[in-house]
Structure 1
Amino acid sequence: MTSQLTDTAPPTRRRSRILALDVVRGFALCGILLVNLPPLFNLNSVDAHGDPLAFYRFYEDFVQNRFFPIFSFLFGIGFGLMWLSASERSPRPRLALLRRFAFLGVLGVVHQLLQPGEALLPYAIVGIVVLLPSTWIPARFLTPVTTVLGAVLLIAAIASGGGLAVIPGLFLLGFATGCSGFVKRTLDHPGRLALVGSLALAVTLIGFAVTDYETRQIDQWINAGLGMTMALTYVVVIVLLLRTPAEAVLRMIFSPLGRTALSNYVGATVIMIGVRFVVPDLSRFDSHGGYLVGLIICLGIIIVQVVGSSLWLRFFGQGPLEKLWRIVTWGRRSGAGTSHHRE
């Protein structure tokens, strides 16, 4: 492995990070922390009468399957941005990216032991099976082919109920977005972005107006579809807020989390398991099945990770797992400067 990690030349140029991607990634990471709360603490979904708990209904309607699509789409964008300069970073870029996914897969296997159903292992598998082969598509056809194929796969995944099935479609759509320069064009035209967000919000509101909670749970394709429109709405709101005075606050809170997303994702699981070991039953602390105290725990973890990530980044360019991931991917001689295409 050592010979593979030291045969790469340093990149010929460095790209500045895209703040919006870091902020949105950090925002999505906070949402995923909330998603992981019920399964990690074995929280009930119904009360003593068999009715859905109010907090659980909130999770299902506003959190579950709302942040995972954002993270998946951003992963595809990151891969697309990375592919644009991959040949500059390594004489064998596909081998380097294969190492990247292999590392993610190994980390995912370990993480599965702590949190069954986590996303890293599926990400690695889909990356190897879907993203890497797509790099052989001729450059002139790359964006249209990955866009159409991604859209078809995403529609099929939504029709089947969503979940992990949305990963291939979102990866390909993100790849098309990242390698086509669409990210910068979108950020340069906030009016168009606002229009897209308004349409997504309108579809979301209509969807909630014509269905009830039970219907959305029975017909999972409705829930999956609303998850996509709500995820898009969340992203548009965050990106547009970055053009207001709120940008300073959003940058301070979410950017450090986004820049160290892998470390924080795994770290949050470790912290939550530690809390569960000390306090195995959250339901005895409140009358909402433990969800209220769980939210407080999540808020505490977010605060700790924001402060910890900010302090870490003052002395190091990347999070600890991100640093190791980069070395495995590109080798020790690869540049250590910040780059908007690193995940």
Structure 2
Amino acid sequence: MNNSPITGKNRILTIDIIRGFALFGIFLVNMPAFHSPVFMSSFYGQEVEYTGVDYWIDVFFSLFVEMKFFTIFSFLFGLGFFIFMSRAEEKGHGVKALYLRRILALFLFGAVHVVALWFGDILHTYAVAGVFLLFFYKRKIKTMLIWAVSLLVVLNLLFLLNVLIPSEILLEMEAANAQGFARDLAEYMGIYTQAGYVEWVSYRLGTEVGFVAANLIPASIPVFAMFLFGLAAGKAGLFHHVSNHLAFFKKFRWITFLISLPLVVILALLKLDILDLGVKQLYAIQLFKSLTGTSLCFLYISTLTLMLRKETWQKRLRPLGSAGQMALTNYLMQTIVSTIIFVGFGFYGETSLLTGTILCFIIFALQMGFSTFWLEYYRFGPFEWLWRSFTYLKFQPLKKANKVTIHQNHHTPM
């Protein structure tokens, strides 16, 4: 029995590049929370006010970035789940035990991440939601799609209910939230700018981590829905031989574009206050961010997949593929580096959205360069190596015996 993970020649370049693209988008979304008290604003439902260039960056992020990239990442997780399970079955492994160890390792990474570093961790959510994928692996594609669509309908109905709450009630809630925000913000900022590491972690356990745990189920709804879409795509073989499904991708790109266009326009009208719903404005923006998060996710995936049929685009975007192949390492390092810069060096609360965005580009460019260099000599990223070693209950060989070329139409793990 060949008890080893999938590497090198068995990867799909298209999936790695899309994963790298999603990783960069997630970093852009996360960056404001790394350098500013976004948690407190979100907790109390307060809008962050931006001016000048920051205002337009925020508008752009709302329209094209926020809630558009974690959905891509979640889709790829579901796709990777199918590939992982099917490959493990081919090799005669006990697939459920193998996958559950993989999920447990992911949960441990996430737990350490959320407790020791940052409230915005997504790994623990993926791990918890990922357990339920086992119940769908053998189901029909139609069943997966029905469940996925149903979950998204439920999620967006919940967002819609917020918009339908009477304005008087929302005004009372807004006043109470504003008081709580003003009361707690000063303490929060004081801890983030002056406390030592142990005090900082202790404070976060009582404020951020508890909220994250309580929010686990609602946070899992869109994640699991996208898992199921990815699982369905894997079972349909859409990425196994893309050339056999070009007509589908082209048609799907146009459908998602036509759906996204009016949704993005409405979101822009709301974000620019051209369409003014008063106290319900933020709830309406949240609803349309969610709707565009799904439609633009699929538009981005289908567009990139078609672009990557051309070898010129494969060459241009290959560094994204290297970053995507080391997604776990790069995701965790984004938090570590950002925490050191903003909390460790005392820049927390003093960084503009423009500066944070520029730093994103610089850090991610360095990550692409480092990933490309690292993968010339090693089979996995450092954290990927730990993850796989835990999954297979033995240390995996890390260094490459020889250089392996990545091919377009072979299998990849999640």
TM-score by length of 1: 0.85
Q: What CA distance in whole angstroms lies between the structure 2 residues aligned with 1:102 and 1:13? A: 19
Query: Can you give the 5+ residue segments of structure 1 that lack an aligned partner in the other structure?
Result: 1-7, 285-289
Shift of 1:32: 0.5
Deviates more, 1:36-45 or 1:332-341: 332-341
Name the aligned partner's letter for residue 199 of structure 1.
I
Name the aligned partner's letter for residue 325 of structure 2.
R
Q: Partner of 1:167: helix, strand, or coil?
A: helix
Shift of 1:196: 1.2
Partner in structure 2 of residue 156 of structure 1? 154
Q: Please, which of 350, 366, 385 is the counterpart of residue 304 of structure 1?
A: 366
Shift of 1:188: 3.1
Q: What CA distance in whole angstroms lies between the structure 2 residues aligned with 1:157 and 1:186? A: 31
Partner in structure 2 of residue 53 of structure 1? 55
Q: What CA distance in whole angstroms lies between the structure 1 residues aligned with 2:369 and 2:14? A: 20
1:122 lines up with 2:125 in the alignment = yes
Query: Can you give the 5+ residue segments of structure 2 that lack an aligned partner in the other structure?
Result: 39-47, 160-217, 272-276, 399-403
Name the aligned partner's letter for residue 10 of structure 1.
N
Kindly indicate whether the alpha-carbon contact (under 8 Å) linking 2:152 and 2:225 is maintained by their aligned counterparts in 1: yes
Partner in structure 2 of residue 77 of structure 1? 79
1:224-239 to 2 correspondences below 5 Å: 224-239=290-305
Kindly indicate whether the alpha-carbon contact (under 8 Å) linking 1:312 and 1:319 is maintained by their aligned counterparts in 2: yes
Deviates more, 1:171-180 or 1:185-194: 185-194
Higher relative contact order (CA 8 A, sep 6+): 2
Shift of 1:95: 0.8
CA RMSD of aligned residues (A): 2.8
Shift of 1:88: 3.8
Shift of 1:94: 0.4
Name the aligned partner's letter for residue 364 of structure 2.
I
Paired-residue identity, %: 27
Kindly indicate whether the alpha-carbon contact (under 8 Å) linking 1:26 and 1:254 is maintained by their aligned counterparts in 2: yes
Kindly indicate whether the alpha-carbon contact (under 8 Å) linking 2:156 and 2:290 is maintained by their aligned counterparts in 1: yes
Partner in structure 1 of residue 25 of structure 2? 31
1:123-138 to 2 correspondences below 5 Å: 123-128=126-131, 130-135=132-137, 137=138
Partner in structure 2 of residue 67 of structure 1? 69
Shift of 1:145: 2.2
Partner in structure 2 of residue 5 of structure 1? none
Q: What CA distance in whole angstroms lies between the structure 2 residues aligned with 1:182 and 1:242? A: 14
Cα separation, partners in 2 of 1:302 and 1:187, compared to 1, 3 Å: farther
Partner in structure 2 of residue 246 of structure 1? 313
Cα separation, partners in 2 of 1:12 and 1:43, compared to 1, 3 Å: closer
Q: Cα deviations across residues 41-60 of structure 1 (Å, max 9, x unaligned)?
A: 116720489xx933222222
Shift of 1:163: 5.4
Cα separation, partners in 2 of 1:109 and 1:88, compared to 1, 3 Å: same
Shift of 1:194: 2.1
Q: What CA distance in whole angstroms lies between the structure 1 residues aligned with 2:130 and 2:31? A: 26
Cα separation, partners in 2 of 1:202 and 1:106, compared to 1, 3 Å: same
Kindly indicate whether the alpha-carbon contact (under 8 Å) linking 2:6 and 2:412 is maintained by their aligned counterparts in 1: no
Shift of 1:176: 2.0
1:190-205 to 2 correspondences below 5 Å: 190-205=246-261
Q: How many residues align?
A: 323
1:72-111 to 2 correspondences below 5 Å: 72-89=74-91, 91-111=93-113
Moved over 4 A (4+): 11-15, 281-284, 333-339
Q: Partner of 1:225: helix, strand, or coil?
A: helix
Q: Partner of 2:140: helix, strand, or coil?
A: helix
Shift of 1:235: 1.6
Shift of 1:203: 1.7
Kindly indicate whether the alpha-carbon contact (under 8 Å) linking 2:63 and 2:264 is maintained by their aligned counterparts in 1: no
Name the aligned partner's letter for residue 236 of structure 2.
S
Q: Please, which of 362, 366, 385 is the counterpart of residue 323 of structure 1?
A: 385
Cα separation, partners in 2 of 1:148 and 1:187, compared to 1, 3 Å: farther
Name the aligned partner's letter for residue 317 of structure 2.
L
> Highest Rg: 1 or 2?
2
Q: What CA distance in whole angstroms lies between the structure 2 residues aligned with 1:19 and 1:33? A: 21
Shift of 1:9: 4.2
Q: Please, which of 3, 20, 24 is the counterpart of residue 10 of structure 1?
A: 3
Deviates more, 1:156-165 or 1:241-250: 156-165
Deviates more, 1:325-334 or 1:70-79: 325-334
Q: What CA distance in whole angstroms lies between the structure 2 residues aligned with 1:163 and 1:217? A: 18
1:341 lines up with 2:408 in the alignment = no
Kindly indicate whether the alpha-carbon contact (under 8 Å) linking 2:36 and 2:350 is maintained by their aligned counterparts in 1: no
Cα separation, partners in 2 of 1:173 and 1:256, compared to 1, 3 Å: same
Shift of 1:17: 1.2
Shift of 1:171: 0.9
Partner in structure 2 of residue 294 of structure 1? 356
Shift of 1:123: 0.4
Q: Cα deviations across residues 155-213 of structure 1 (Å, max 9, x unaligned)?
A: 32233348542011111221122133232354533343122112212222112334522
Q: What CA distance in whole angstroms lies between the structure 1 residues aligned with 2:6 and 2:123? A: 29
Name the aligned partner's letter for residue 263 of structure 1.
T
Kindly indicate whether the alpha-carbon contact (under 8 Å) linking 1:69 and 1:166 is maintained by their aligned counterparts in 2: yes
